[in-house]
Amino acid sequence: MTPRQLRLNLFIYPGGHHEAAWRYRGSAPERLLDIHYYQEIARRAEAEKFDGIFLADGPALADNVRYASRFRLEPFTSLATLAAVTERIGLIATASTTYFEPYNLARLFASLDHLSNGRAGWNIVTTGAPQAAANFGLDAHPVHAERYDRAREFVEVVTKLWDSWEDEALIADPESGLFADTDRVHPIDHRGRHFTVRGPLNIPRTPQGRPVYVQAGSSEDGRSFAAAHAEAVFTAHQTLASGQEFYADLKRRAAALGRDPEQLLILPGISPFIGSTEAEARALHDEFNELTQPEYSLQMLQRILGLRLTTDQLDGPVPRELIETGGERGNGSRFQVILDIIDREQPTVRQLLHRLAGARGHRVVVGTPEQVADQIQGWFENGAADGFNIMPPWLTGGFDVFAEQVLPILRQRGLFREEYTGRTLREHYGLPRPEGRFASASDAAPDLVPTAAG
């Protein structure tokens, strides 16, 4: 049996994941709109045999672009350009079930999967930013539970559309003159609470059957959704115990739904600050934190926790008693991550802002290459992770040092591949290609996404 190995994605965030990355002397903020910059990073990640590249996205300008690089290029266009200069690495795009329509999204991902020869993944989000509503003619952002109810039906519709062409439907036989077997192209005739979609999709079934379903969200609704639909989960945890609880819970929920828990990958985020000594790594981390701007950080804290604080309060304790834990804000997974930091560490406001500056609530690891590798191995071997989203503090240098100094250690320990063995993202992740819903009953595997009548 092949030993279990890490799944590693490169999470590309403009300039890097530390909020002050664009100010660091090793960054290149003038290249954030240069596609050659992203192509260079993608080629490097593929040379290092990463499973995938991941792009976050949102349908509104993020908070306070005055102080940080908060815009992002649209992911489908970006990943299509990266597909043209790579051959193996997966291409994972974030897209919202709240602000897309299923038919349009199904076309976009099907196109990306075809153009990349089977490397597309969909990071399914419901969008937490309330300011997005005004960009789509809505008076208010839908509440948490309503967004997840729509998301469940959205995934059902998109799955039906991707399966509306059978694998054998495209004939393209010049001699017979038959281009497509229309008996194998099916309308979906979906009628539900949120969507009415006739179908079929106007693109044949893709190389992977369907793009890989990825999900990011750790609330109760998020966990239930992931257990039913996701094949990989991007998550944020600060402690091994928290990671272990989440890992065990998601695997248990998936098994209870009749799914193979090995086909649900748990991939926490990790942002490494690496130095030749621990002191050097800490000095690097401190240098980044000294570049942060409190006006930006305090606004971010207000958005997530509802705390309105001033710079005069930076060196005082976080006023825990003022944080309302109920209501819509309290449903957010990132809210709970930050609340746990406050309760566990009792930081000052400044210390909390520095904790969050590195990766917005994801785990920041500061140490030597060996110490970073030990952290990754420890979570991987102790039931907290199947792999990680690597979140370099700055680009490209933060990724370069990880690739040059940490990956060789992981390979020496037999934890990460030397070469690709597959060509699609599903193959990299060890996931099967799903049967279409119109496959013959004798050949069909259980459908990944349970479908409702109609």
Binding site membership for FMN: which residues? 57, 94, 144, 148, 218-219
Spatial separation of the C-alpha atoms in residues 419 and 85, rounded to whole Å: 18
Spatial separation of the C-alpha atoms in residues 235 and 270, rounded to whole Å: 10
Best CA proximity match to 163, nearest among 197, 137, 191, 201: 201
Binding site: which residues? 57, 94, 144, 148, 218-219
Contact at 8 Å (CB) between 119 and 426?
A: no
**Residue indicated by tokens 């750790």:** 218
Spatial separation of the C-alpha atoms in residues 82 and 40, rounded to whole Å: 9
Spatial separation of the C-alpha atoms in residues 421 and 88, rounded to whole Å: 10
DSSP state of 416: S
Q: Which helix (H) or strand (E) holds 79?
A: helix 75-83
Structure tokens at 220: 């109760």
Helix %, strand %, coil % of the chain (to 5): 40, 15, 45
Cβ neighbours of residue 241 closer than 8 Å, sequence gap 6 or more: none
CA angle 238, 239, 243 (to 5 degrees): 95
> Quick check: helix, strand or coil at residue 387?
strand
Phi-psi region of 114 (alpha: psi -120 to 50; beta: other; left: phi over 0): alpha
CA angle 280, 285, 286 (to 5 degrees): 95
Spatial separation of the C-alpha atoms in residues 439 and 184, rounded to whole Å: 10
Spatial separation of the C-alpha atoms in residues 359 and 290, rounded to whole Å: 15
Spatial separation of the C-alpha atoms in residues 224 and 164, rounded to whole Å: 26
Contact at 8 Å (CB) between 379 and 238?
A: no
Contact at 8 Å (CB) between 347 and 238?
A: no
Spatial separation of the C-alpha atoms in residues 20 and 13, rounded to whole Å: 12
Spatial separation of the C-alpha atoms in residues 371 and 289, rounded to whole Å: 21
Calculated CA dihedral for residues 1, 409, 15, 426, nearest 10 degrees:
-10
φ, ψ of residue 64 in degrees (nearest 5): 60, 60
